[in-house]
Amino acid sequence: MKKLTFILTLLMIAVISVFGGISVFAASHSTLHPSLHQAAPVLRWTADPVKEGLNAFEGVEDDPSHSEPGVTHISVVGNTYRINMDTRQRETPGDRQRNEVKGMRTPQGQIITIGLGETWRFAYSMFIPSTLKGTNGFTIIFQIKRPGTGSIPLVSMNLRRVGTQELIALQTDISGGDVASTDLAPLKNHWISTVIDVTAGPAGKGAVHWTLTNGGKTVVNAGRTRVDTWLGDRLRPKWGIYRKVADKADVLDTYLLISNIQAYQIV
């Protein structure tokens, strides 16, 4: 009897240990980064050029230094947003150019903000002409930023030159390094689609994922976790052209077309 009791006791200890281990394993999964969980995207905002025009955005930065008075660079053309950039325009301190739309505004006038710990998805189509070139400095066509002057981007899509090759890259600016990059040449002069997921978080808690599609073929599908995507206050997206002008051979009169802009919150 004593031997049987001893065996039963050992079995009970084993069962408790096994189920305890399962419990710990489940708890460890609950601490995964929010962007890694299977969550439902909820459509929060659409920029409709026909219905709302430029009022779909929180603000418009059309030649913010007023270097070309009376010239309109950002406009609605059909069902697209067109951002023009010529070689004459300058922004303080004189070595760069900027024409961008920023933020998200509902048809009722409410500003949509991105808060700490939230995950958002930005999906849109863009047309990059042959005249919009990668440069050795920076040519940024999408950003996630904290509002205010002087703050650096947290995430940016950059057209860059590496030797004779032009690349399109999504980079995490504070943490450093690219999420991914790919050859720009095959993506020019026709419509392509992109999806960018951003989890707002300080160092070690932010995440970014990027998908780029060309003619139905996925050419980029990559992500980074444990990056810094937060500087306080709130975040907002920006679309347009922001570039340095030092590379004269690659800085041409150009434009960028954007359409089908949608923002989802992953909840």
Percentage of residues in the chain having pLDDT higher than 90: 81
Average the pLDDT over 95-107 and give the result: 97
What is the tens place of the pLDDT at every residue in 238-247? 999 999 999 9
Q: Which domain holds residue 139?
A: 40-266
Q: Are 139 and 92 found together in one domain?
A: yes
Name the helix (H) or strand (E) containing 190. none
Number of domains in the chain: 2
Q: What is the DSSP string of the chain?
A: -HHHHHHHHHHHHHHHHHHHHHHHHHHHHHTS-GGGS---EEEEEEE-TTTTGGGGSSEEEESTT-SSTT---EEEETTEEEEEE-TT--BTTTTEEEEEEESEE-TTSPEE-B-TT-EEEEEEEEE--TTB--BSS-EEEEEEE-SSTTPPPSEEEEEEEETTEEEEEEEETTT-SEEEEEESGGGTTSEEEEEEEEE--STTTEEEEEEEEETTEEEEEEEEEEE----SS-BEEEEEEEEE---TTTB-SEEEEEEEEEEEEE-
* Average pLDDT over all residues of the chain: 88
CATH code: domain of residue 144: 2.60.120.200
Which carries the bigger pLDDT value, residue 221 or residue 5?
A: 221
Quote the pLDDT of residue 21.
Answer: 30
Q: Are 11 and 118 found together in one domain?
A: no
Q: Are 135 and 251 found together in one domain?
A: yes
User: Which range has the worst mean pLDDT, 29-33, 59-63, 127-131?
Assistant: 29-33
Local confidence band at 149 (pLDDT 50, 70, 90 cut-offs): confident
Average the pLDDT over 221-242 and give the result: 97
What is the tens place of the pLDDT at every residue in 35-52? 445 579 999 999 999 999
pLDDT of residue 33 exceeding 70, the answer is no
What is the tens place of the pLDDT at every residue in 48-89? 999 999 999 999 999 999 999 999 999 999 999 999 999 999
Q: Which two tokens stand for residue 124?
A: 């849109």
Q: Are 126 and 25 found together in one domain?
A: no
Quote the pLDDT of residue 144.
Answer: 98
Q: Are 215 and 243 found together in one domain?
A: yes
